Chain A
């Protein structure tokens, strides 16, 4: 060939040699840097400023160590908690206790609530019957009846899990009910005219179109349950992250308090992500209808 296309040979050469030419470390570095837009730099700068402010205020001697621990003190407090635990429980033990309560209360409460909500959405009479009770419990501050539950069941897991059950139930049932009631009438009619029976309409039309709402309810419910378990452990508990924070605060150990708050934030974020992840798997058609 007298005049081979120079572009072709060049690109072939580049493709062949590319892996050897860029070191993998440099490659990842460029990828990471490439994603750093101005927005990300601003975000980073704000977090940096906040951290610097914390460091400055806590080390300058303007406030006492009891009021605000230094970042270094919080960091060593974290390792202290990891190594020695807190009042008979390891840090992971406290976290496990809290999460156990959350999952038990959330699972039972949202299961019963969702079932009730589906029935309430399907039949007007069931809705009218349960509506006042659900509405009352939904508006009621959860901690108000914790005291009563403690008097009835004693301090311990039974009162706490009952409380979380009662917290999750109305949230889940209202979401499920709204979901059923917003099922599009056209789909129902289509299924009916194709000869679907009541169960088939429920299983293949109502339930799938309700699932996104059910998951929205689950996300709301786990947030409320999580916030409630911490409050409940503070008011009537003897272990768990909420109790640990309150106890450390009363004993003037703000380093432990700060560590506890950060752990609670991370766990809360993870719980929310967990529900979103399950929703993505189950409602895989979301946004595509």
Chain B
């Protein structure tokens, strides 16, 4: 967009007032300097500045005692807590243990929902009888806030891992089904007709035409489902758990350990970014033709 606007200004003949960080052309630079410059230009400096600025403001506010350090501990205190928990653990669990407990719940539910949800979505997109049978059931569960039925699951399955995995499974399942179905139904009819005209049988059409054209939608459903599952697992762990990152936040709040809370929030944010990256990498690997068509 920015480049577009810039080129527009040159088109209209107005003086080019635009200049942004990193865009200055490297005029007289040797090979080594030029490649160094290229690396420097590829980093989004303003992003680095904004993160540094946020940390600096946080530190200064803390140093000036604007709010009590018990309420908002400073970045150094949080870093110290991080090292402390990394070494000594938190109330009998190590940080890695808690991270793995949370990830295990997410992964188990997500894999289960994918194994059951994606084939059902494919079938619903392909066959209108199957779609008629399940469409409304799935559509009606989608607007339900996931936590609303968690208490029922606790009554049925107890407070252990099974009720959490069931909850996360029910959260991811409708999203995967609906997006997969939409992907199948968005297959261009021309492609199917072309394959038919070339003599493909029903299975071949499904395997080589419908499935590839549904894959991008399936992956976008997977990334949405992953994000929702990840935020739901933390909520579930806040309500009833004895390990996991959500439990850490909950337990720290009981002891007014705001440094632990902030540290866990940062860990959670980074973990969320990582999970999204994993799905995106998988997407790129499988749908290598994206953007080529």
- Interface positions, chain B 19-35, Cβ under 8 Å from A, are 20-21
Alpha-carbon distance between A22 and B156 when the two chains are bound, in angstroms: 54
A245 within 8 A of B: yes
CB pair A269 B143 closer than 8 Å? yes
For chain A, what secondary structure do more than half of its interface residues adopt (helix, strand, loop), or is it mixed? helix
Alpha-carbon distance between A168 and B120 when the two chains are bound, in angstroms: 31
Alpha-carbon distance between A185 and B11 when the two chains are bound, in angstroms: 13
CB pair B234 A143 closer than 8 Å? yes
Q: From known contacts A129-B47, A143-B246, infer whether A242 and B147 are also in contact, taking CB-CB under 8 Å.
A: yes
CB pair A268 B47 closer than 8 Å? no
Would you give the shortest CB distance from B93 to chain A, in whole angstroms?
A: 17
CB pair B238 A140 closer than 8 Å? no
Q: What residues of B have a CB within 8 angstroms of the CB of A52 in the complex?
A: none
Q: What residues of A have a CB within 8 angstroms of the CB of B238 in the complex?
A: 143, 146-147, 235
Which stretch (A6-14, A43-51, A76-84) binds chain B? A43-51
B148 within 8 A of A: yes
Could you tell me how many residues of chain B have their Cβ less than 8 Å away from some Cβ of chain A?
72
Would you give the shortest CB distance from A214 to chain B, in whole angstroms?
A: 16
A249 within 8 A of B: yes
- Interface positions, chain A 254-286, Cβ under 8 Å from B, are 254, 257-258, 260-261, 264-265, 268-269, 271-272
Within 8 Å by CB of B2, from A40, A123, A245, lies A123
Q: What residues of A have a CB within 8 angstroms of the CB of B111 in the complex?
A: none
A111 within 8 A of B: no
A86 within 8 A of B: no
Q: What residues of A have a CB within 8 angstroms of the CB of B58 in the complex?
A: none
5 closest A-B pairs by beta carbon, nearest first, are: A249-B151, A268-B143, A139-B272, A124-B2, A128-B46
* 10 pairs, A vs B, C-beta closer than 8 Å: A46-B134, A128-B47, A129-B50, A144-B234, A144-B245, A148-B265, A250-B151, A269-B140, A271-B143, A272-B143
